[in-house]
Amino acid sequence: MNYFKNIILFLFISLLFSCGGDGEDGEIFLRIRSILTPINFSIENPDIPQPIQYDVYYKTNPGSYPFTYIDHNNVSHPLPGEFSVIDIIASPGQSGSLFKSGEDGDDIYIDLILLSTGPIIENFDYFTIASSLDYYEE
């Protein structure tokens, strides 16, 4: 009988320590896009290689990253009123409970679009193909 109690206790303790657990934060991917390639572009993000390859997703980490560019009209951005920092935040994983593991956070796909009228940021929760998105300057 004592042997049976030890087995039950061992299984219960194993169950407690093997269940639960928090989910992982989602991954983040940043893509730089432009209708007309800027003359110069720079971003202070160590995850993005220089020179940048446009329309390619790069895996990156959360943070605030300043950027600048000179558009095809030879105008330097950011201009007054335009944003100059991209804030990247991961989708957090959910907390686990006693008998349920937390779900992982969603992956985020961010497009930083460089236009002569100023930059635009778009967020997606799925991979997009660059050629399927159309942006027209007004």
How many CB atoms are located within 10 Å of the residue 31 CB?
22
Mean pLDDT is highest, among 96-105, 113-122, 128-137, for: 113-122
The DSSP letter of residue 110 is E
User: CA–CA separation, 119 vs 30, rounded Å?
Assistant: 14
Q: Where are the domains of the chain?
A: 2-132
Q: For position 1, what pLDDT does the model report?
A: 64
Alpha carbon dihedral 69, 70, 73, 79, in 10-degree steps, equals: 70
Confidence of residue 13 (pLDDT cuts 50, 70, 90): low
User: CA–CA separation, 113 vs 106, rounded Å?
Assistant: 22
Dihedral sign (CA 121, 127, 130, 136): negative
